[in-house]
Amino acid sequence: MPPSNNHGARDPAAIVILTGAGVSAESGIDTFRAADGLWEQHRIEDVATPEGFRRDPALVHRFYDARRVAVQRAEPNAAHRALARLDAEWRGDLLIVTQNVDDLHERGGAKRLLHMHGELLSALCAACGERHRWTGPLGDGPACPACSRAALRPDVVWFGEMPYPMERIYRALQRCDLFVSIGTSGAVYPAAGFVAEARASGARTLELNLEESEGSALFDETRLGRAGELVPAWVEEVLGAEEG
């Protein structure tokens, strides 16, 4: 589905892409909702909520410290690289909004990128709100380098917390001509609501996923398969149509 401009201008079409865990699966990073409903053998309530962190901070730190190590060993795959190529070559507006906390999109080369659920390689100070790039462990309780008032926590948006720059994301959704969802189950809001928001603004909608997601009925087109195959083929189609 090459994008066409719905908004009457001569500019190339504006594209918003939402990615989820499925885009990193072929890099060896586990998705969240595998068949057993656990995330790396843990209940989501224990490791991805503020209540879980208050109850057992050592467990939560161990969990994210291990994820941080795993992510730094992983490599971007063909889907990350194809999206980076699109980012570099697409002349129109483009925004990649990822729910993933890994850094594989940026290591693949993407620039026009937002991490709506935070980043594993970042630490957040609960006292002053500063975010610090962080590649090592947090379990030994390092103090915030900016204010020294509190220990740092993972800079990951947990259930019940507000995702990162929602205003900017909604503005892009309202102006886009094409919305593409890649490798996400459509189970977690607000991201799961983006397709409806884009449709309401007149955008075409495309889903690339291994299996039908909870929101599949809302997409104009769904293509099923592995992101490492579907995404490069779609990017080729989009850039080829622009040249032709």
Instruction: Please say which residue, 44 or 150, places its beta carbon nearer to ligand OAD.
Output: 44
The distance of closest approach from Cβ of residue 213 to ligand OAD in the complex, given in angstroms and rounded to an integer, is: 5
Burial class (CB in 10 A: 0-12, 13-18, 19+), 196: middle
**DSSP assignment of 94-138, as one string?**
EEEEE---SSHHHHHT--SEEETTEEEEEEEETTT--EEE--S--
| Residues numbered 97-116 forming contacts with ligand OAD, rule: CB under 6 A | 99
Site string for ligand OAD, 16-55 (x = CB under 6 A): ----xxx--xx----xxx----------x---x-------
| Residue 211 makes contact with ligand OAD by CB under 6 A | yes
Site for ligand OAD in 219-238 (CB under 6 A): 226-227
Residue 191 backbone phi and psi in degrees, to 5: -55, -35
Distances (CA, A) of 223 to 50, 60, 101, 193, 230: 36, 36, 25, 19, 8
Rounded least distance, CB 187 to ligand OAD, Å: 5
Q: How far apart are CA 188 and CA 99, in angstroms?
A: 10
> Which active-site residues does the annotation give?
117
Residue showing tokens 């220990």: 151
Touching ligand OAD, residues 125-154 (CB under 6 A): none
Are the C-beta atoms of residues 192 and 42 closer than 8 Å to each other? no
Q: Which is nearer to ligand OAD, 20 or 52 (CB)?
A: 20
Least distance to ligand OAD from the beta carbon of 38, Å?
Answer: 11
Name residues whose C-beta falls within 8 Å of residue 44's C-beta, 6 or more positions apart in sequence. Answer: 32, 38, 159
Size of the site for ligand OAD (CB under 6 A): 26
**Distance (Å, rounded) from C-alpha 51 to C-alpha 45?**
8
Confirm or reject binding of residue 188 to ligand OAD (CB under 6 A).
yes
Select 183 or 232, whichever has its Cβ closest to ligand OAD.
183
Nearest residue (CB) to ligand OAD, 66 versus 187: 187
At 29, list the tokens: 């990073």
Binding segment toward ligand OAD, per CB under 6 A, in 65-73, 168-176, 183-191, 195-203 = 183-191
CB nearer to ligand OAD: pick between 33 and 199: 33
Binding site for ligand OAD (CB under 6 A): 20-22, 25-26, 31-33, 44, 48, 99, 117, 156-158, 183-185, 187-188, 209-211, 213, 226-227
